[in-house]
Amino acid sequence: MRRRLVIALIVLCAAGGVALWRYQSEVLGAGARWYLERVAARERASGDLGQRRETVSRLHRLLLMPAPPDAMVPELFDFVTLLSSRVATGEVSVAWSAYLYTSYVRDMDRDRPGGLPARSNAEIAAALEEQIAFFQIRKRPDMAGVRMSDLLGTDGDSYSLEEIQRAEREGRELPLK
C-alpha cells in the first residue's frame, strides 16, 4: 500500500513537471500578469507610483522614448500588464509589442494629453484587442514564446564576448547560430 502511494506520488510529480515544462510559456505569462497586477493593486492602495513609474520609465528608455508624465503611468503600466502575458506565450512578438505600446502611448498623448480621463482596465483591454484584431496579429507556429532559458540567459542565439575572443585566440571560426 505504501509502495503504491510512493510510486503514484512520483508519477504525479513527474507528470506535473512535464506539463509545467511543456506549458512553461503560459505559466510564465500568467505569473507575470499576476505579479504586475499585485504591484499595481499594492501601489493603488498606498497611492504610490514608485515601482510602476520605474517599470514604465525603463520601458520608455528601451524604446528611446521620453519618460511619460506621472498621470499616464498607471494606465501605461496596466497596458504593459495586459500585454506581458501575450508576449510571454508568443501570441504577440516582442517587435509587435513594441509597436503596439508605442502606438498606444502616441494615441494617448494625442487624444488625452496628460492621460486624463484615465481608462479602466476593461477599456485598456478592449483597446489592445482592437489593435491586435486590426493588425491581425497571430501566434507564429514556429515561435515557442518565452522559455526559462530565455530568462536565465542560456541557449541564446548569439555568442558572448568571451566566446568570440577565445575562438579568435584559438584561430577557429565560430559557426552561425
Angle between helices 94-111 and 121-134 (to 10 degrees): 120
d(CA 80, CA 93): 14
The 10s digit of each residue's pLDDT in 23-37 is 888 888 899 999 999
Domain range for 60: 26-139
Residue 173 lies in a domain: no
Of the candidates 67, 88, 92, the one whose C-alpha atom is nearest the C-alpha of residue 77 is 67
Residue 172 in domain: no
Report the C-alpha dihedral over residues 30, 57, 52, 70, rounded to 10 degrees: -140
pLDDT band at 111 (very low <50, low <70, confident <90, very high): very high
User: Rounded CA gap, 87 and 13, in Å?
Assistant: 28
Query: Is 144 within the bounds of a domain?
Result: no
Asked if residue 109 belongs to a domain, the reply is yes
Task: Give the residue-averaged pLDDT of 84-89.
Answer: 92
**Of 129 and 116, the one with more pLDDT:** 129
Domain count, the chain: 1
Asked whether residue 129 is domain-assigned, the answer is yes
pLDDT band at 22 (very low <50, low <70, confident <90, very high): confident
Residue 97 counted as domain residue: yes
* C-alpha to C-alpha distance for 101 and 65, rounded to whole angstroms: 11
Residue 31 counted as domain residue: yes
Residue type for position 158 = S
Task: Count the Cβ atoms, other than its own, within 10 Å of residue 37.
Answer: 14
**CA–CA separation, 152 vs 55, rounded Å?**
20
Percent of the chain with pLDDT over 90: 61
- 82, part of any domain: yes
**Is the pLDDT confidence value at 155 over 80?**
no
Long-range CB contacts for residues 173-176, cutoff 8 Å, separation at least 24: none
What is the Cβ-side half-sphere exposure of residue 144, based on CA atoms within 13 angstroms?
11
Distance CA 37, CA 111 (A): 26
